[in-house]
Amino acid sequence: MNNFDVVVIGAGPAGGQMARLMTKSGYKVLLVEQHEDFSKNDFSSAVTPLSTLDRFDLPEEIIGSYWNNFVVVTTNIRRNWDSPENLGAVLDFAKLKEFLAKDVKSCGGEVWMGYRYVRHFQDNEKTLVTLKQRSGGKLETVSTKVLVDATGFARSVMYNKQSDKPKLLSATGIEYVIEVDEAAYNQYLNSIFFFLGYKWMPKGYSWIFPMEKGRLKVGAGRFNLEHKNIKHTESLQYYIQLLIDKHVMPKEYKIIDIHGSTIKYCQGLKDIYYKDNAIAVGDAVSTVNFLGGEGIRHGMYSAELAATHINRYLENQISDFRDYQNQMRRYFLPKWEISAKAGVNKYLIESDKKIDESFTYLGLLTTEEIIAVLFEYKLGKLKKGFVKYLMSKIQIPNFFKEVGDLRLLFKKLGV
């Protein structure tokens, strides 16, 4: 039987980063992924701020494109915030995961692709993990000192049954990668476009992001919950086609890939963070932000935190992962709860008019301020925009109603 110090289930950004860090610390590591290769599960649009690249030491080869312009289109308005410097990147999600797995291997770790986690159990001092090869169904058992749940929204290691899971908010997204003519592509060069409102994507948002020359990611995602006003929506494919036909308007285009997945967030962060010598990272403990659906760098950050605790555990300095849970909750809970509330409000409650209005007023924020709101979750900056908005509206008769509405919104969000 193969013996490891750490077995990581799931080779997404969180699992890959976890395995990479533990291998670099000199431990015997196995990274397990159910898919045979990373192109099979290339579901994420993978937009990230520029800081992610340095923070996690990621190479140029995984970057699809850079962006320095952030555009929002609602039913009736369009706003953009730009900068002379690059603000972020659109990653090639499959290449990111491939890079992390390669780094694990080059530092002496093992990566088993096409193996699915089945169960684990204690046998004296050892934890035995059963894995099933997807092609052929062969069962393998390995032993480990620490087991990591990095299975994303599935949370497969921490929960035996679906019914054991806490209540989860969920959203589903689908994305096409299309190849278009130069003129169509150039409309999105160095820009990321988000579409909100009832016309483009009720109950969520849709997007167009550029990748390498000629390729665009065009996607749509929405909450899997009832909307206060909207009773009927079309399929996600319908809204993607709408973007292609009415916004990209290519002379001709070719679909290169269609992918999609789900994110699941536990309100109040009541996920199981650890159980005996098993510990969970990434989306398995709701590190995805439920307002924007951004989760790559947060999952990688959780892996970094967990790695420091696993190191101490393996050196017998601690006997459980309680401090990891406390640290994670302290870091994520305040910002994540406000974001989830804002998400529910924006995507499931607000009228189309309100969505237009909120971006009219966000349009008064500077690029730095909007980036701080959206990527650093500094929702306090909204107040500054609110004051600018009031100053610009001071002559308008429904001023007092709007003040009341916006105050109510800030109160709801706790900012």
Ligand X SMILES: Cc1cc2nc3c(=O)[nH]c(=O)nc-3n(C[C@H](O)[C@H](O)[C@H](O)COP(=O)(O)OP(=O)(O)OC[C@H]3O[C@@H](n4cnc5c(N)ncnc54)[C@H](O)[C@@H]3O)c2cc1C
Contact footprint for ligand X (CB under 6 A): 9-15, 32-35, 41, 43-48, 116-117, 150-152, 154, 156, 173, 175, 219, 221, 260-261, 263, 282-283, 288, 293-296, 299
Please, what is the minimum distance in Å from the beta carbon of residue 307 to ligand X? 14
Please, what is the minimum distance in Å from the beta carbon of residue 149 to ligand X? 9
In terms of CB distance, is 44 or 68 closer to ligand X? 44
Tokens, residue 87: 């603000």
Please, what is the minimum distance in Å from the beta carbon of residue 44 to ligand X? 3
β-strands 126-133, 115-123: how paired? antiparallel
Distance (Å, whole) CA 67 – CA 409: 30
Burial class of residue 106 (count of CB atoms within 10 Å of its CB; 0-12, 13-18, 19+)? exposed
Partners of residue 32 on adjacent β-strands: 9, 112
In terms of CB distance, is 45 or 311 closer to ligand X? 45
In terms of CB distance, is 147 or 248 closer to ligand X? 147
CB 243 within 8 A of CB 253: no
Instruction: Mark out the alpha helices in 138-265 (DSSP H runs).
Output: 182-186, 236-243
Please, what is the minimum distance in Å from the beta carbon of residue 152 to ligand X? 2
In terms of CB distance, is 49 or 197 closer to ligand X? 49
Please, what is the minimum distance in Å from the beta carbon of residue 154 to ligand X? 4
In terms of CB distance, is 191 or 360 closer to ligand X? 191
Instruction: Mark out the alpha helices in 33-181 (DSSP H runs).
Output: 51-55, 93-106
In terms of CB distance, is 218 or 406 closer to ligand X? 218
CB 7 within 8 A of CB 22: no
β-strands 110-113, 191-195: how paired? unpaired
Partners of residue 173 on adjacent β-strands: 221, 261
Please, what is the minimum distance in Å from the beta carbon of residue 375 to ligand X? 10
In terms of CB distance, is 45 or 358 closer to ligand X? 45
Please, what is the minimum distance in Å from the beta carbon of residue 129 to ligand X? 10
In terms of CB distance, is 29 or 263 closer to ligand X? 263
Residue 148: which of 312, 307, 270, 34 has the closest Cα? 307
Tokens, residue 404: 């009341």
Please, what is the minimum distance in Å from the beta carbon of residue 410 to ligand X? 26
Distance (Å, whole) CA 66 – CA 89: 4
Please, what is the minimum distance in Å from the beta carbon of residue 263 to ligand X? 5
CB 87 within 8 A of CB 127: no
In terms of CB distance, is 9 or 365 closer to ligand X? 9
CB 162 within 8 A of CB 153: no
Please, what is the minimum distance in Å from the beta carbon of residue 63 to ligand X? 13
Contacts of 78 (CB under 8 A, 6+ apart): 71, 72
In terms of CB distance, is 195 or 361 closer to ligand X? 195
Distance (Å, whole) CA 324 – CA 25: 18
Residue type, position 203, single letter: K
Burial class of residue 390 (count of CB atoms within 10 Å of its CB; 0-12, 13-18, 19+)? middle
Query: Within 10 Å of residue 128's Cβ, how many Cβ atoms?
Result: 16
Residue 165: which of 150, 149, 154, 151 has the closest Cα? 154
Tokens, residue 95: 């290449």
In terms of CB distance, is 50 or 318 closer to ligand X? 50
- 298 half-sphere exposure, CB direction, 13 A CA radius: 25
Please, what is the minimum distance in Å from the beta carbon of residue 117 to ligand X? 4
